[in-house]
């Protein structure tokens, strides 16, 4: 069994996202893309899926300052590396395959559905590598990027500290200039995913630190390359202070790291001093899309597992069945089980559509499309947060389909639920995404980006289709809410931003309505081309579910937002 639906992925790539147009004129054709996905599929099926339970039940151990993973992890990660997936999206000049981000992300989806915590190593390495590609010197690219593209070095992003989690202006790690232009790095970092392991020859940490004498707050943050093994042959003084014992996502080690405790940690500046946070946000934005893709993949994996169970498991009869000795029906024949399956389908499929759309926007941005960049910036908080919240909800439903069995570790659905619970937290919490959307993204250039998004959505809204009018209504309401909140934020930012998370959810639900519109329009084209099929009928029915059960939630949320509900803002700490 696959942990995802290959037919749906093909449909999403070629029919919904129009990958054919994107790769037209490139070296890549449909067969080549399918070959890449086949490879991802095989690594997922052969290496990632089979060890899911084992690596969940045997979390990384802290042994003599080392992070020790179960033996089965390295062969799985090696297979992934050997297939070239870390370098897939990098240009051939650095040793990569030069694949479009859209294809790279499709493969990442397959691998994440097969095991999200194993796929974390690659995702982090790609993110770190891209930063060096963008801002590094030629020497830094040769020394660090190229071995990362080969998969010999892995990467990390080291932002948080014990006193500075979501508040990066408070980081205290210092970078003291040395005479040779390098820097002594001294500080403690927390929550570092893949911060310690023995899966690669070297680990390249990208570390946020402050050069003494620089400006206070975020304007004084610089970015440093701090490899575990330096190119001068020395081992850097980066020690593993401890591993976090997590609820899920266990094969990705999560570390507390001490830099330069014994004075022997040397790093190189990446790019210009005091510009580190803006660099890091490039990585962070890609990581956020990656988190959304991971959350979507987990939602998809739970959906597939619960769907297979629901088709197989006999239990009970229809409410009107009078004969208690009649054969039991498969539980998929119970309407409430179909509701639980539809709810999952209605969440995971548009989430995938958005993740793929974001990947196509990355490709278009790289090709110099300025509009794509603005649109991507606006969609990124949604692409990160919506699946983190609503594909987690889908995983809750997957457990429910299996009932008691779903609560045991004999089936993977409880693990998906635990794994996915991380996603609303890391790479900027759900609340932080809301602040990013309402406090920055929709306000930029007087709301020009948001206006462009609305125009873009309206390009897809035709007349007379089943879902066009309700989406237009929801979009119009979202515009009204956005104008209202933008004015509120302008007048009194603290109060105006108090409901940013609700706004984020409301915004996200409209975007997912748009995705369902695009999916059903693509399905209609397929029907016109190839005739109807159960697969295509399912798209329309799931869209109906979304428009009947989910999109209407935006009405209540909008009313709350337009009514300036200030219950949380006005609540006093002492009243709890």
Whole-number Å distance between alpha carbons of 283 and 277: 10
Residue entry with tokens 């029919």 = 15
Closer residue to a copy of itself (CB): 89 or 350: 350
Residue 466 is a catalytic residue: no
Block residue for tokens 């060890």? 51
Q: Measure the CA angle with vertex 147, ends 132 and 84; round to 5°.
A: 105
Closer residue to a copy of itself in complex, CB, 4/417: 417
Exposure string over 430-444, b if 16+ CB within 10 A, otherwise e: bebbbbbbbbebbbe
What CA–CA distances, in Å, run from 287 to 124, 131, 180, 281, 425? Answer: 8, 12, 33, 9, 13
The torsion of the CA quartet 460, 25, 5, 354, rounded to 10 degrees, works out to -40
Name the catalytic one among 349, 389, 427, 550.
Answer: 427
Smaller CB separation from a copy of itself, 337 or 372? 337
Sign of CA dihedral 270, 271, 275, 280: negative
Question: Alpha-carbon distance 201 to 154, whole Å?
Answer: 8
| Closest CB 308 distance from a copy of itself, rounded Å | 10
Tell the smallest beta-carbon distance from residue 408 to a copy of itself (Å): 5
Q: How far is the CB of 548 from a copy of itself (least distance, A)?
A: 5
Q: String of b and e for 44-73 (b: at least 16 CB within 10 Å)? A: beebbbebbeebbebbbebeeeebbbbebb
**Cβ nearer to a copy of itself, comparing 487 with 559:** 559
CB of 313 to a copy of itself, least distance (A): 9
To the nearest whole angstrom, how small is the minimum distance from the Cβ of residue 195 to a copy of itself?
Answer: 13
Nearest 10 degrees: CA dihedral of 262, 263, 264, 269? 140
Quick check: 172 and 210 in contact, CB under 8 A? yes
At 442 the three-state DSSP class reads coil
Question: Strands 254-259 and 183-193: what pairing?
Answer: antiparallel
Q: Which residue has the tokens 């909140």?
A: 485
Q: Which is nearer to a copy of itself, 105 or 304 (CB)?
A: 304
Shortest separation between residue 497's beta carbon and a copy of itself, angstroms: 5
* Smaller CB separation from a copy of itself, 59 or 237: 59
Q: Which residues are catalytic?
A: 427
């Amino acid at each position: 069994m696959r942990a995802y639906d290959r037919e749906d992925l093909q449909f999403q790539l070629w029919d919904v996202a129009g990958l054919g147009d994107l790769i037209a004129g490139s070296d890549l054709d449909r067969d080549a893309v399918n070959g890449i996905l086949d490879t991802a599929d095989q690594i997922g099926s052969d290496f990632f899926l089979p060890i899911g339970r084992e690596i969940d039940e045997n979390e990384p151990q802290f042994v003599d300052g080392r992070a020790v993973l179960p033996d089965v992890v390295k062969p799985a990660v090696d297979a992934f590396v050997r297939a070239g997936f870390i370098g897939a999206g990098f240009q051939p000049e650095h040793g990569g395959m030069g694949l479009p981000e859209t294809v790279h992300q499709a493969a990442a989806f397959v691998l994440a559905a097969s095991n999200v915590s194993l796929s974390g190593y690659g995702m982090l390495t790609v993110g770190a590598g891209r930063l060096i590609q963008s801002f590094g010197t030629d020497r830094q690219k040769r020394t660090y990027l190229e071995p990362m593209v080969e998969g010999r070095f892995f990467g990390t992003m080291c932002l948080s500290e014990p006193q500075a989690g979501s508040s990066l202006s408070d980081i205290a790690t210092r970078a003291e200039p040395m005479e040779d232009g390098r820097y002594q790095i001294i500080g403690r970092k927390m929550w570092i995913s893949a911060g310690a392991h023995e899966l690669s020859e070297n680990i390249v940490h990208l570390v946020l630190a402050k050069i003494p004498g620089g400006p206070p707050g975020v304007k004084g943050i610089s970015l440093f390359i701090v490899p575990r093994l330096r190119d001068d042959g020395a081992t850097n003084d980066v020690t593993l202070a401890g591993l976090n014992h997590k609820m899920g996502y266990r094969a990705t080690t999560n570390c507390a790291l001490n830099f330069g405790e014994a004075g022997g940690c040397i790093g190189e500046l990446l790019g210009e001093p005091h510009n580190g946070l803006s660099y890091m946000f490039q990585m962070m934005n890609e990581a956020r899309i990656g988190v959304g893709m991971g959350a979507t993949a987990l939602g998809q994996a739970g959906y597939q597992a619960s769907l297979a169970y629901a088709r197989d498991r006999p239990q009970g009869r229809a409410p009107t069945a009078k004969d208690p000795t009649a054969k039991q029906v498969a539980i998929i024949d119970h309407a409430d089980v179909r509701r639980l399956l539809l709810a999952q389908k209605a969440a995971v499929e548009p989430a995938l559509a958005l993740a793929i759309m974001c990947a196509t926007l990355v490709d278009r941005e790289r090709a110099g499309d300025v509009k794509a960049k603005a649109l991507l910036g606006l969609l990124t908080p949604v692409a990160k947060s919506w699946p983190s919240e609503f594909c987690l909800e889908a995983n809750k439903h997957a457990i429910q389909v299996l009932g008691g069995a779903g609560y045991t570790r004999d089936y993977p659905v409880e693990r998906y639920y635990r794994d996915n619970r991380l996603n609303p937290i890391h790479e900027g919490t759900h609340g932080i995404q809301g602040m990013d959307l309402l406090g920055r993204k929709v306000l930029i250039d007087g709301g020009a980006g948001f206006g462009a998004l609305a125009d873009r959505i309206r390009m897809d809204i035709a007349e007379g289709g089943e879902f066009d009018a309700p989406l237009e209504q929801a979009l119009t309401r979202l515009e009204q809410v956005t104008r209202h909140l933008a004015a509120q934020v302008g007048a009194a930012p603290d109060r105006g931003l108090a409901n940013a998370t609700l706004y984020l959810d409301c915004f996200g639900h409209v975007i997912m309505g748009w995705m369902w519109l695009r999916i059903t329009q693509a399905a209609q084209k397929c029907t016109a081309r190839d005739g109807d099929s159960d697969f295509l009928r399912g798209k329309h029915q799931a869209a109906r579910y979304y428009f009947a059960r989910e999109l209407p939630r935006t009405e209540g949320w909008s009313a709350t937002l337009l009514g300036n509900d200030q219950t949380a803002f006005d609540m006093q700490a002492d009243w709890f």
